[in-house]
Amino acid sequence: VLVLAASGGGGLVAYADSQSDQPQGPKKKKVVVLGTGWGGTTFLRNLDSKLYDVQVISPRNYFAFTPLLPSVTCGTVEPRSVVEPIRRILEKKGGDFKFWEAECFKIDPAKKKIHCRSNAGTNFDGNGEFLVDYDYLVVAVGARSNTFNTPGVEENCHFLKEVEDAQKIRRSVMDCFEKASLPYLNEEERKKNLHFVIVGGGPTGVEFAAELHDFVTEDLSKLYPSVQHLVKISLIEAADHILTMFDKRITNFAEDKFGRNGIDVKTGYKVVKVAKDAITMQNPAAGDVAVPYGMAVWSTGIGTRPFIVDFMKQIGQANRRVLATDEWLRVRECDDVYAVGDCATINQRRVMEDISEIFRVADKDKSGTLTVKEIQDILEDIYVRYPQVKLYMKSKQMNGIADLIRTGNGDTEKESVELSIEEFKKALSLVDSQVKNLPATAQVAAQQGQYLAKCFNKMEYAEENPEGPIRIRGEGRHRFLPFRYRHLGQFAPLGGEQTAAQLPGDWVSIGHSSQWLWYSVYATKQISWRTRALVISDWGRRFIFGRDSSG
Ligand code: FAD
Ligand code: MG
Ligand code: MG
Ligand code: MG
Ligand code: MG
């Protein structure tokens, strides 16, 4: 239902009003969700749809299972197997949901409106723009690929972020092989066409390199026997190692395996320019090196979307790189706007900012000093509110306080110790160095979406109980715990039916058995039985017939 409204610029703007066609009744609050990726979709699936009037806005009308995108680049898995239409997901839930296929290009927190533009058609006004009101806004728009302003990247490299990107890469790989096979090329030109360069040694770049290597050796070598010996895959990483977020054992295994497979891993090289047919990289020892290439995939990191940068300026976050929320996922300095996933980071509260308050609450007998018992009593609450304290207690640099608490039991000498506020401050002075940003992963985005939906389902309670510096058990019954991330482990598929797995507790497993774990986890994590069936049948088809190489 479109309603006319005067826009700030003086013209008329279409207005999406989802409520005017609803039967009368108490007005539900309007929740607007931006994005249908991991964060947004998980939020929607867990939201109690009876409680709100929900509008979902995203330029793409489906959810994409991103961990399988590298498999799409080589046809191991079909594109349609990794996507699920958002309307189907919403329809299954029932309740008040509206979906608009459009892009938000401006958030107006003062008026509680967002400006959207349809990417499909135009309205009567000719620009396809419309406004949407919100009571609560959930921003889950993910991030953009980051070129770090390296010249030529935008024009000459592929990215691997969306399903379309994976499809384009697949076509481009085949094009390179066909070009290299043409009769009029010399050896040099064939080599150039078959040089595949991947920039970025993170999980995505590594997995793509492994997929491509398998595709070439298992399938393409049979179809292009005359040129297959000319294929070269290079993986360029600016740091000293690839997969730096993984355990050293995995990094070493991956580098060795890639070495044996003939993948040229160039660590310590920074790409400074990408021209149409040569890529220039820099190394302190080697200087500038330009290498000809056939296809390049850029996978070095993520950045903030421009309209989020603009939003950050409006709310006084202009000096930050990433949108900041508190531990309840509320955007800082902005009422009723929440953010989950790759588009935001949690600005973890510092212990040292709250130290006097913590001391005051812990000092139950108001003696002005803390006994070991008093510290122990409050520790669990501190861990919840300030996860860095737990990390710190486990780390090697722990000093006085950790020793005190651990060995306090039964040790009469230590139990009689009492800390003044100055001593307490000193003991915790290094704790905040353990504050860590959560990684930009589907796992984090999904857990945040789920957490936020649970908060929304109990919103009334939350309003009665605003945040306090620490949660005291037995008090403020309905107060929410802050978001807490549970790391369930991480996979790095390395090709040749081998995967590295790093599970909680630094449990590392590498090889064929982890590959089977990977298959089963990824089959289980599928969003619907339909995509699960499709993915499993794709894997089966690949085992029997190999990958499809048309395109
Ligand atoms: P996204 O899932 O990116 O969703 C963003 C949504 O917002 C999209 O629907 C997009 O269309 C929409 N949107 C964009 N702009 C606008 C706008 N202006 N207005 C409205 N909507 C907008 N993580 C893992 O944990 N494990 C893995 O194995 C893994 N593999 C990966 C492989 C690849 C190739 C890639 C690219 C990522 C991988 N990730 C993996 C990371 C994971 O996909 C992201 O961390 C996750 O998608 C973040 O979720 P999100 O909801 O924040 O953003
Ligand atoms: Mg999302
Ligand atoms: Mg996604
Ligand atoms: Mg994040
Ligand atoms: Mg005391």
ipTM, 2 dp: 0.97
Task: Identify how many contiguous H helices and E strands the chain contains and give both numbers.
Answer: 20, 28
Q: What domains can you pick out in the chain, each with its CATH number?
A: 2-143+304-343 (3.50.50.100), 153-303+488-545 (3.50.50.100), 351-434 (1.10.238)
pLDDT of residue 424: 87
Q: Is 257 in the pocket of ligand 1 (CB under 6 A)?
A: no
Closest C-alpha to 537, from 550, 519, 521 = 519
Eight-state DSSP code of residue 330: B
| Ligand 1 near 160 CB (within 6 A) | yes
* Ligand 3 centre distance from Cα of residue 341 (Å): 10
For residue 366, the ligand closest to its alpha carbon is 5
502 Cβ inside 6 Å of ligand 1: no
Atom of ligand 1 nearest to the CA of 307: 18
121 Cα–ligand 1 center, Å: 25
Question: Both tokens of residue 284?
Answer: 């302190």
Q: What is the pLDDT of residues 452-462, one digit of tens each?
A: 998 888 876 65
Contact yes or no for 69/82 (Cβ under 8 A): yes
Burial of 179 (0-12, 13-18, 19+ CB in 10 A): middle
The answer to whether 498 and 504 are in contact (CB under 8 A) is no
Which residues make up the environment of ion ligand 2, defined by Cβ < 5 Å? 35, 37, 39-40, 140
The span from the CA of 58 to the CA of 52, in Å, is 19
How many C-alpha atoms does 348 have within 13 Å on its Cβ side?
Answer: 22
Q: Mutate which of 42, 55, 66 to test ligand 1's pocket (most atoms within 8 Å of Cβ)?
A: 66
Closest CA to 227 of 194, 260, 264, 263: 194
Ligand 1 atom 41 nearest Cα: 441
Phi then psi dihedrals of residue 31, to 5 deg: -105, 125
Of all protein residues, the one whose alpha carbon is nearest to atom 36 of ligand 1 is 161
Residue 441 CA to ligand 1 center (angstroms) comes to 8
Q: How far is CA 490 from the centre of its chain?
A: 13
Query: What pLDDT is recorded for position 498?
Result: 93
Q: Measuring CA to CA, which residue among 83, 93, 9 is closest to residue 50?
A: 93
Q: Tokens representing 485?
A: 């991330």
Which residues have C-beta under 5 Å from ligand 5, the single-atom ion? 363, 365, 367
Whose CA is closest to atom 3 on ligand 1? 142
Q: What is the Å distance from ligand 5's center to 357 Cα? A: 14
Q: Whose CA is nearest to atom 14 of ligand 1?
A: 141
**CA 60 to ligand 2 centroid distance, Å:** 11
Q: How far is the CA of 442 from the centre of ligand 1 (A)?
A: 7
Q: Which atom of ligand 1 is nearest to the CA of 439?
A: 45
CB of 140 closer than 6 angstroms to any ligand 1 atom: yes
If you measure from the C-alpha of residue 541 to the centroid of ligand 2, how many angstroms do you get, rounded to a whole number?
Answer: 31
> In angstroms, rounded to a whole number, what is the distance separating the alpha carbons of residues 354 and 360?
10
Rounded CA-CA distance 176/195 in Å is: 9
Q: Quote the ligand 2 centre to 342 CA distance (angstroms).
A: 8
For residue 103, the ligand 1 atom closest to its alpha carbon is: 19
Q: Is 69 a pocket residue for ligand 1 (Cβ < 6 Å)?
A: yes
Closest ligand 1 atom to 104 CA? 19
The per-residue pLDDT for 95 is: 76
At residue 120, the 3 state secondary structure works out as: coil
Residues of the chain with pLDDT under 70: 1-25, 119-126, 395-415, 460-479, 551
The pLDDT value recorded for residue 516 is 87
Backbone angles phi, psi at 112, to 5 degrees: 55, 55
Q: For residues 134 and 31, is the Cβ–Cβ distance under 8 A?
A: yes
Decide: 447 in ligand 1 pocket, CB within 6 A. Answer: no
Strands (E), 86-227: 97-108, 113-118, 129-133, 136-139, 144-145, 158-159, 195-199
pTM: 0.89
CB atoms within 10 A of CB 434: 19
**531 CB contacts (<8 Å, ≥6 apart)?**
65, 81, 82, 83, 84
Among 114, 110, 266, 123, smallest CA distance to 195 is for: 266
Structure confidence at residue 203 (pLDDT): 95
